[in-house]
Chain A
Amino acid sequence: MKTKLTILTIALSVFAASTAWGWGRDAHATIAYIAERHLTPEAKQNIEAQIDGRSIVYYASWMDNHGEEVRQWRHSVYYDPITHKPTGTAYTELNTTIEKLRDYKSLSERKRKEHIYHLVHAMGDFHCPGHTYLLSADGKTKVNTHYDVVGHDGKVTRFHTVWDLHVIRHFHSTFGYMDFAHSLDNNLSQDYIDHVTAGNLYDWLCETCNESLWIYDMVPKKPKGTPKAELSRINIVQLQEMGLLADRQIVKAGLRLAKVINEVFGK
C-alpha cells in the first residue's frame, strides 16, 4: 500500500511538473500539427531545413521549455474593451518575428531557429483565451486569468490552469496530437479556411480578444482571500462551453500559422 502511495505521489508530481506551462503542450503540438497539414510542400521543406529536418511540432513548446535560457517573449495580449484594440508588446514582438523571418536567410542560424520556435509557439498562445487579458475602463487595471476559482472537480484552482490544462485534458485526455488534430481538422471547407485565414495578425488578435471576453463574465474574479464557498464555480456545462471555444481557437491558430509559414517559407 505504501509502495502504491509512493508511486502515486511520484506520478502526480511528475504530472504536475510536466503540465505547469502555457496553453498546454498537447494543444501547442496539435496547433503545430494542424499547421503542418496545411503547409505547401515548398514551405514544409524550407522550414524543416532550418530546424535540422525536424517537424515544427517538435518545437511547439520549445519556448516554454527553454524560456529560462533565452529572452522571454510575452505571449499575453491586453484587450481594451473601450477602444476594442489589443495592446501590449506581445503583438509587436510576434509581428517583428514574422517580419524578420521574411528575410530568414540573412539571419544567423541561432536567430533563425529562435524566431521559428517563437512563431510556432506564440501563434498558439495568441489564440488561447486564457492569454487574452482585459484592461479596465481607465486602462490601469489588468484583469488576467491568474485568480482562484473552484474547478469542475470541486478543487480550488487558478482560472489560468483551467485554460492551460482542464479544457483540453478533461475532454481529450486520451488523445495524442495527431488524434486531436485529425478530429478537429476534419474535412474543413476551403471557404472556411479562406475565411479564417483572411486578414492579418492584428485582425486575428482582435477577433480572439472579442470572442474571449465572455469567459470573464462567466467566471468573474473574486477579491483576494475570498473563501472557497464564495469563489466562482465552474460546472461541467461551462467547462464544455470553454472546451468548444478552445477547440475553435486551436483550429484557427493552426490554419493561421500555416498561412504565415506558407507566406514566409513557401517562396
Chain B
Amino acid sequence: MKRLLISIIALLALSPMAKAWNGPLHAAVAEIANVNLTPEARKNIEAALGNHGIVYYAHWMDDVAKTEGYKHVSKWHNVPLTAKNKIIPAKKAAKSKNGTISKALAMDGLARAIAAIENRDAISAEELKDNIRYVIYIVGDLHCPSHYVFTDMLEQRALKYFYHKEKKPRSFMRFWESEAITSTFSWRPSEFVHQLNRLSPEQIARLTEGSVSDWVKGNAKTYRQIYSHLTPNQHFDKKQYRIWLNNFYEMATDQIGVAGYRLAALLNGLFDESEPKKSIK
C-alpha cells in the first residue's frame, strides 16, 4: 500500500496537472473569435447556447471537469506528440502506461465534439450546447505550449525554477497557464482584441488554412523550443527573471490571437454553410 502511495505521488510529481490558459486568457481567445464570427455563424451559435455569446462559456469546460457526467473532459487538455511532432492517435495514446500520455486526448475530444456538431440533428439541444462549449475551450488549449506532451521530452514537463528568494520552486508548466503573458501584460479580454485582432484577411486566411492537425503540428515546432530556455531548478534574481520572461511573452501572447482566429474559422465552418469546413485531419 505504502509503495503504491509512493508511486502515485511520484507519478503526480512527474506529471504536472494538465492546466490550461487561465480563465481570462480563455475569455481573450473567445473574444477574438467572437469578433471574427460571421453574422450567420454567430446567430446560430448563440441560439444553440441559449442566447449567450461564446465568451460567456470560454472557461466552462474546465469549470465542469470535476462534476458528475463531465469527468471525461479532464483528459481533453493535452496532445501527445512524437519526436518528429507527429500527433499520437488517441487509441494508441490511451493505451500508454504513462499517465501523462494516456490522458492527453484533446484531439480526440475535439474530434468527437466536431462530429457531434456536424450531426446535430441526432443529438439533443443540451448535447449540442455542451459540444460547442468543448470546442471553444479545447481550441484555446491547443495554442498553449504546456499542452503539448512531447513524448521524447517527458522529463522536461517536470522542470521547475526558483524565483528570487522563494524557497519553493515554481513549475514551468504552470508558468504557461498565465504568467508567461500576465507578467508583462495585464490586459482585459476585450483589450486582447484591441491588441491582437489586427490581421488582414489574407493574413487570417494563411493562419487558418489547413486542418486542425496541421495547426497542431505547426504549433508543436514552435512550442518544443520553450524547453531550451530553462535548466533544471534554475535560480533567477528579479533582473534575470525579467530578461528570461522576455523570451516568451510575445510568442505566448500572440498565441491567444492565433487561437481566436482559428476558433472562429472552425465555428464559422460548422455554423455557416457558406464558410469552408475545417477538418481534424
Q: Encode A40-82 as 1/0 by CB contact (under 8 A) with B.
A: 0000000000000111011001000110110000000000000
Residues of A within 8 A of B40 (CB): none
Bound together, the chains give a CA A13 to CA B179 distance in angstroms of 12
Task: Among B168, B195, B238, B243, point to the contact of A17 (Cβ < 8 A).
Answer: B238
Nearest Cβ distance between residue B28 and chain A, in whole angstroms? Answer: 11
Residues 148-167 of A contacting B (Cβ, < 8 Å): none
Return the chain B residue nearest A177 by Cβ: B191
Tell whether B66 is near chain A: CB-to-CB under 8 Å.
no
Most A C-beta atoms less than 10 A away, residue of B170, B183, B186:
B186
Residues of B within 8 A of A66 (CB): 246
Residues of B within 8 A of A65 (CB): 184, 242, 245-246, 249
Q: Encode B222-248 as 1/0 by CB contact (under 8 A) with A.
A: 000000000000000011011101100
Inter-chain contact B239/A68, CB cutoff 8 Å: yes
Tell whether B15 is near chain A: CB-to-CB under 8 Å.
no
Inter-chain contact A68/B163, CB cutoff 8 Å: no
Tell whether A26 is near chain B: CB-to-CB under 8 Å.
yes
Task: Among B190, B194, B198, B242, point to the contact of A68 (Cβ < 8 A).
Answer: B242
Inter-chain contact A58/B164, CB cutoff 8 Å: no
Bound together, the chains give a CA A10 to CA B171 distance in angstroms of 11
Inter-chain contact B164/A13, CB cutoff 8 Å: yes
Interface size class of B (residues with CB under 8 A): 20 to 34
- If A13-B164, A17-B238 touch, whether A176 touches B243 (CB-CB below 8 Å) is no
Inter-chain contact A176/B195, CB cutoff 8 Å: no
Tell whether A229 is near chain B: CB-to-CB under 8 Å.
no
Residues of B within 8 A of A179 (CB): 188
Residues of A within 8 A of B170 (CB): 10
Bound together, the chains give a CA A65 to CA B168 distance in angstroms of 25
Tell whether B182 is near chain A: CB-to-CB under 8 Å.
yes
Tell whether A137 is near chain B: CB-to-CB under 8 Å.
no
Question: Size of chain A's interface in residues, with CB distance under 8 A?
Answer: 25
Return the chain A residue nearest B171 by Cβ: A10
Inter-chain contact B194/A55, CB cutoff 8 Å: yes
Return the chain A residue nearest B184 by Cβ: A65
Nearest Cβ distance between residue B256 and chain A, in whole angstroms? Answer: 13
Q: Encode B194-223 as 1/0 by CB contact (under 8 A) with A.
A: 110010000000000000000000000000
How many pairs, one residue from A and one from B, have CB atoms within 8 Å of each other in the complex? 60
Tell whether A256 is near chain B: CB-to-CB under 8 Å.
no
Residues 137-193 of B contacting A (Cβ, < 8 Å): 163-164, 166, 168, 170, 179, 182-188, 190-191
Return the chain B residue nearest A21 by Cβ: B242
Residues of A within 8 A of B182 (CB): 14, 18
Inter-chain contact B183/A176, CB cutoff 8 Å: no
Bound together, the chains give a CA A220 to CA B166 distance in angstroms of 34
Task: Among B186, B241, B246, point to the contact of A176 (Cβ < 8 A).
Answer: B186
Residues of B within 8 A of A107 (CB): none
Bound together, the chains give a CA A54 to CA B179 distance in angstroms of 21
Inter-chain contact A25/B186, CB cutoff 8 Å: yes
Inter-chain contact A69/B190, CB cutoff 8 Å: no
Residues of B within 8 A of A6 (CB): 168
Inter-chain contact B198/A53, CB cutoff 8 Å: yes
Residues of A within 8 A of B246 (CB): 65-66, 69
Return the chain B residue nearest A13 by Cβ: B166
Tell whether A20 is near chain B: CB-to-CB under 8 Å.
yes
- If A14-B183, A69-B246 touch, whether A176 touches B163 (CB-CB below 8 Å) is no
Residues of A within 8 A of B198 (CB): 53-55
Bound together, the chains give a CA A46 to CA B184 distance in angstroms of 25
Residues of A within 8 A of B166 (CB): 9, 13
Inter-chain contact A55/B168, CB cutoff 8 Å: no
Bound together, the chains give a CA A209 to CA B249 distance in angstroms of 35
Bound together, the chains give a CA A13 to CA B185 distance in angstroms of 16
6 A-B pairs within 8 Å (CB atoms) are namely: A14-B183, A18-B184, A25-B184, A53-B198, A68-B243, A176-B190
Known: A6-B168, A14-B182, A29-B187. 15 other contacts (CB 8 A): A10-B168, A14-B179, A17-B183, A17-B241, A53-B198, A55-B195, A57-B195, A65-B242, A65-B245, A68-B243, A69-B246, A176-B187, A176-B188, A178-B188, A178-B194
User: A residues bordering B, Cβ < 8 Å?
Assistant: 6, 9-10, 13-14, 17-18, 20, 25-26, 29, 53-55, 57-58, 61, 65-66, 68-69, 176-179
Question: 9 tightest A-B contacts by CB?
Answer: A176-B188, A176-B191, A18-B183, A68-B243, A68-B239, A178-B191, A58-B195, A53-B198, A55-B195
